[in-house]
């Protein structure tokens, strides 16, 4: 098998309790939006969470209007 790290892109991981460190960091950043010290994962997670939340909020607003 090849190295797991390369086959497991944390940005696409959807396992809630994934033990991979990049996934944990990414998900924490995704949920909390900010956590100093986790530069890559937190920033990437924040950006992804922000745009997804923003899109979902817009969609909900349109659906409810």
Counting contacts by CB under 5 A, is residue 43 touching Zn ion?
Answer: no
Q: Should residue 18 be labelled a site residue for Zn ion when binding is judged by CB under 5 A?
A: yes
Burial class (CB in 10 A: 0-12, 13-18, 19+), 42: buried
Q: Among 3, 6, 9, 13, which residue sits at the site for Zn ion (rule: CB under 5 A)?
A: 13
Token duo for residue 39 = 């530069």
Minimal distance, residue 6 CB to Zn ion, in Å: 13
Q: Which one, of 17, 19, 10, lies nearest residue 45 by Cα? A: 10
Stretch that binds Zn ion, among 22-30, 37-45, 52-60 (CB under 5 A): 22-30
């Amino acid at each position: 098998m090849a190295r797991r790290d390369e086959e497991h892109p944390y940005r696409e991981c959807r396992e809630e309790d994934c033990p991979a460190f990049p996934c944990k960091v990414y998900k924490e950043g995704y949920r909390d939006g900010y956590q100093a010290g986790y530069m890559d994962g937190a920033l990437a997670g924040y950006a992804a969470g922000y745009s997804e939340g923003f899109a979902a909020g817009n969609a909900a607003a349109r659906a409810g209007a």
